[in-house]
Amino acid sequence: MTTDSVDFASLLCSRLCHDLLSPVGALNNGIELMASESDPEMRQRCLELLEQSAKTTADKLKFFRLAFGSAGGFDDAIPASDVHAAISGIIGDSRRIELGWLVHDDTLPKPVVRILLNLALVAIDALVRGGRLDIGVERQAGGSEIVVRAEGERLAVDDQIIAALEGTMDEGALAARTAPAWMTNVVARAHGGAVLSSRDGDNAILLGATLAS
């Protein structure tokens, strides 16, 4: 592993830690409250907090395992139902995001899953006020096409992340928030493809990727 690879892994780990800090911190707070609370009603509320935080942490870990990890335990293909569950889990009940799932295959190749989830992550982060997230995959003999569309009020699109997705950002400008997008572009190029984006009006964005293998 080169120094550059180590630096990139460090940035990716920083992103993971940032996203997991909140639910894990809530778990810790809940445990501390339980230890000092004697009122039955308050203890029940603490238990609910612990349950919610534990679920959020587990959902994020499941998502990141498929999006960033090697997805150990799977063959070369991953059940599409697991991918759908990972996205639904990270959206959660409080994000106010409606998910449209236009994937008809029972399984998806690992590279397709990794790109799809990372594009979905960019779209979810952009939907700061909720909205709609549509995800589609079309597979043919010559490769795969992935489309992710996010639509919502005051869509927050980070231009640096888009540049990282499309491979136009200078590698020296990589940061924890752009590392997943940069990895997405690298994976797409490694499979003979590319990542593109386009704005669809003021409140929507299209993210797409093509893979030749």
Nearest residue to 153 (alpha-carbon basis) of 207, 204, 109: 204
Q: According to the model, what pLDDT value does residue 172 have?
A: 79
Q: Taking CA 87 as the corner, what is the angle to CA 84 and CA 92, rounded to the nearest 5 degrees?
A: 125
Pairing of β 107-109 and β 194-199 = unpaired
- Report residue 142 as tokens: 């010559």
What's the topology of domain 3-211? Heat Shock Protein 90 (3.30.565)
- pLDDT of 2 strictly over 60: no
Mean of the pLDDT values across residues 63-90?
Answer: 85
Mean pLDDT for 133-156 is: 93
Sign of CA dihedral 53, 78, 175, 165: negative
DSSP-based three-state secondary structure for 73: coil
Q: pLDDT grade, residue 9 (50/70/90)? A: confident
Segment 105-135, tens digit of pLDDT: 999 999 999 999 999 999 999 999 999 999 9
What is the spatial distance between Cα 182 and Cα 15, in angstroms, rounded to a whole number? 13
**How is residue 12 written in tokens?**
């990716």
Q: How confident is the model at residue 1 (pLDDT cuts 50, 70, 90)?
A: very low
Closest CA to 116 of 169, 140, 170, 80: 80
**pLDDT value of residue 43:** 82
pTM score of the predicted model: 0.88
Assign residue 39 a region (left: φ > 0; alpha: ψ between -120 and 50; beta: otherwise).
beta
CA dihedral 13, 176, 103, 60 (to 10 degrees): 50
Instruction: Decide the pairing of beta strands 194-199 and 204-211.
Output: antiparallel
